[in-house]
Amino acid sequence: MSNKCLLRVEQLLRKSSIKAAKKDEIINQIKIAQAEKKITNIDSINVDKVAKEVTEQIKLQKKINKRNAIENEIKIRNYTEYVLREFPDNPEEGLIAVLVGSNQRKLASRASVAIQQQASVNQLIAGFNQKLRENNVTELFDKADRDTQLRVSRTMEEINQRKTDVEEQTGLKPPITETNPKIIKLAEIMEGYSEMIRQKLNDRGANISKMWGYIVRQSHDPFSIRDAANKLGLKDIEPDTDLKTRRDRNYNRNFKAWKNFVMEKLDQARTFAGVDDIDGFMVSVYNTLVGNKYQMADGASFAFGGRATPDVAKSSKFKRVLHFKSADDWFVYNDMFGVGNLKESFFSGLQTSGRNIGMMDSLGTKPTDNFNRIRQAVHERLVKLKKDTESTKSNSIYEKYLNNVDGSVYSVEKFPLAKYSAILRSIIAMAKLGGATISAAADIGLYGSEMRWQGRSFLGGMFEALNNLRKIKNPKQLKDMAESLGFIADNTIYDVAGRHQVGDNLSKGWTRTQRTFFKLNLLSWWTNTLKEGVMLSMANYFAKQKNIEFGKLNSSLRTLFNMYDIDSTKWNIIRKTAMKKADDGKEFINIADLDKITDAQVKEITGINDLTQRQIQIEKDKFKASVSGMLLDRSIYAVIEPDVRGKAILNGGRMSGTYMGEIIKFVMQFKAFPFAIVQKTLGREADFFRKGANQDIARGITGMASILIASAFMGYLSMTAKDLLRGKKPRDPREIKSFFAALLQGGGLGIYGDVLFNEVRTAGERIGSLAGPATLTAGDVIQAIYWGIRGEGGKTAKSAYNAVVKNIPFLNLFYIKSAFDYLIGYQMMEILSPGVLKRVEKRMKKDYNQEFLFTKPSTLFKGLN
């Protein structure tokens, strides 16, 4: 449409009685209609129809805003009453429990926002995978080459755009150009699932307009975007000097390269409808992308899917949606600046959308504001009751938990600092965690302790864990059933490295390298096998209780259900509705069947009779996610890893790329696993000592004792396995040092001790090592420089060798390390420090009454002698 045409429309609107806000939006909608229909003649656009549609949109947005306000208020009041009722003596713990859960055995104390988010993500992925299996296109989705991915993308766009004016008038659908039926089916599934999720988000208060590939189009790789000039081979590109990007020259170069690349592919009429400052808009989009802020779960305020604002007229100016001209244009952009292939892009979008759904189901469309209002309401009630209000006075106590729940902790402040710090930690992890699976023997005892807490046998739980590992791989039917429960293999959506460190944003290349490492050291297999096994085990155990009424369940199981807000009504529905038998006759809870519960059952659960169909569907989703969330949460008690609460404590809620945030991550590297044991396993048992109606000191003592004994036993087995791999005899179990070493190994310090305490040489270094593994490497480098300046060649070489060899990724793999030592390592040690092997052998004998199994290294390697 020409500018003259638009000017004529604007003049007509000024003379009309239409309000100013509506006028702006009508113009924007005419531009969008022009772009969508590729119309150049204004007479071809029904301006009256557009004006009517805009008026209806404004009315709709007002209704949505009103509905959101009411539903937000209900959530605020319910949570306020919950905190005051369940945590009257410790409202701070109650508020934290709302966000990230609590070990206290109280109603819904584990039914947190964080768990609802994880369950929502996993259920979306499980549901999608099920559709792929039902239509026999899983392999096509997993292994599609670049050409196939492009064809799928094109077909997704065509499917979305089939509802045109022509179809409305004639009833005929434009043809799909793709001829391969499997590609068409895959595109239909992906586009249909994408549209379903958009509707779910809108049902919860968002107002996202229809667009093809909504899920995959949320995919952006901040590392590639921040390095756009190099990615595009534009090393000589000059930065724009007139843009206020408030950044350095290199940043401006990359922004210009990215902007020029993407502008050619954008449907500019749609993307910039209502935007006065296009350059400023693009700077804002770029900052959002390189800061990783687009993945934040912030309720209805989606950075790349629509923004719930007071009215539609304002929304166009604030939507940061990049509308591409075609699927081909999007595909080229995604190939260059997306998170990966079509599969990875889709899963990335599922993860972001699932976290938003979980957030809105819990805290509404304005989660941060709503939580602050909950805290303020609790504070005001406590003031009236003349109780201590210090912990509820400000939001500072809860900020780190909020930052981890909404994902802002993973947004980036100073990109280069975040990038190279993450890479360094990844290198350290791949250089130090080669024997992590051997050290993970502690999982067996922790698995047993969790089963005991649920009312089962401690030893039975340990044998169950070992049996899971013995089977290596479950039959396909059980694997599918485990996924329906919510189990998603680590490498699908996140890295197993999270068990041992706080978490990092890594580029595609480094992420894949790290994933490969954890496959080779068998930690991915170990963790996934145990998690899958415990999910199935719990589902089978719960199914065995299906004939027992809630009040007659054993007390431990009732406590478990109570902590996840599963009462007698919900249990009756679960045990009568969600059961499935496997081929071997075993019965399991089948969460997928909870989709089939009736409207009457939903009303029974909520206690509300006048629910709309929208509200009924939301409640079904929430119920399904709550049951899945319980299984997911308990699985990371059995196969221990930090939950969101633990991560928040460890990272302090600090953003990536801030100096303090990166320092904290370096200090806390490899401490996540032992911290999780203290926070979760011991914290779970410590609740039995807490004063109150649930106090059971005897139960707490036996729980702690069983963990202590199992930790020492499994720790000794772990140490023995490591010693045998290194060619050493087992340590003498009669030595007190062996006992304490085994206790530390089985208590979670196995990996931490391997990385830190076993590598230090002096008491000062032991203390310094508490600052994290990076300090050890830094110490070796500093020592090498120091001795080099002083002309001490031998000491310089020794420090330099330590700095290099102890930080070579993959060299520490447990089946490579011993071979390296005998081929190169021991000889180098003797060359750099003559007599060191004899000293090592003497220390082994003195401390642990331990010797090498075969020939002593000191007799084989003589250095330069």
pLDDT at 306: 39
Place of tokens 């089978």: 540
Q: Check: CB of residue 637 under 8 Å from CB of residue 464.
A: no
What pTM does this model have?
A: 0.88
pLDDT at 768: 60
pLDDT at 313: 29
pLDDT at 38: 54
- State CA 19 to chain mean position distance: 45
The C-alpha atoms of residue 2 and residue 41 are separated, in whole angstroms, by 8
The C-alpha atoms of residue 99 and residue 106 are separated, in whole angstroms, by 15
DSSP state of 487: -
Which residue in 350, 420, 368 sits closest to 656, CA to CA?
A: 420
Phi, psi of 554 (to 5 degrees): -65, 155
Instruction: Kindly state the tokens that stand for 548.
Output: 């027992």
Instruction: Kindly state the tokens that stand for 193.
Output: 């699932």
Instruction: Kindly state the tokens that stand for 665.
Output: 């991550």
Instruction: Kindly state the tokens that stand for 89.
Output: 């003596």
H or E segment to which residue 138 belongs: helix 138-143
Residue type at 179? T
Residues sharing a CB contact under 8 Å with residue 221, sequence separation 6 or more, in sequence order: 337, 338, 339, 340, 507, 508
Helices 736-744 and 697-725, axial angle in degrees (round to 10): 100
The C-alpha atoms of residue 743 and residue 714 are separated, in whole angstroms, by 8
Instruction: Kindly state the tokens that stand for 15.
Output: 């003379």
Residue count (the chain) = 865
Instruction: Kindly state the tokens that stand for 114.
Output: 């964080």
Instruction: Kindly state the tokens that stand for 597.
Output: 């519960």
pLDDT at 318: 37
pLDDT at 394: 87
The C-alpha atoms of residue 389 and residue 402 are separated, in whole angstroms, by 20
Instruction: Kindly state the tokens that stand for 2.
Output: 């020409």
Residues sharing a CB contact under 8 Å with residue 734, sequence separation 6 or more, in sequence order: 849
- State CA 543 to chain mean position distance: 29
Own/partner pairs for 716-721, CB < 8 Å, 24+ apart?
Answer: 716/742, 716/745, 716/746, 717/441, 718/438, 718/439, 718/440, 718/441, 718/442, 718/742, 718/745, 718/746, 718/750, 719/745, 721/438, 721/441
The C-alpha atoms of residue 87 and residue 267 are separated, in whole angstroms, by 53
- State CA 732 to chain mean position distance: 43
The C-alpha atoms of residue 655 and residue 222 are separated, in whole angstroms, by 15
Render the burial of 140-164: b for 16+ CB within 10 Å, e for the rest: bbeebeeebbbbbbbbbbbbbeeee
DSSP state of 110: T
The C-alpha atoms of residue 31 and residue 696 are separated, in whole angstroms, by 69
Phi, psi of 854 (to 5 degrees): -115, -140
The C-alpha atoms of residue 756 and residue 772 are separated, in whole angstroms, by 8
Residues sharing a CB contact under 8 Å with residue 656, sequence separation 6 or more, in sequence order: 292, 409, 410, 411, 412, 413, 418, 421, 422, 504, 505, 662, 665
Show the CA angle centred on residue 335, arms to residues 330 and 340, nearest 5°: 115
Q: Check: CB of residue 662 under 8 Å from CB of residue 656.
A: yes
For the chain, residues with pLDDT lower than 70 are 1-51, 53-54, 163-174, 218, 240-247, 300-320, 472, 490-504, 747-769, 865
Q: Check: CB of residue 550 under 8 Å from CB of residue 559.
A: no
The C-alpha atoms of residue 233 and residue 738 are separated, in whole angstroms, by 58
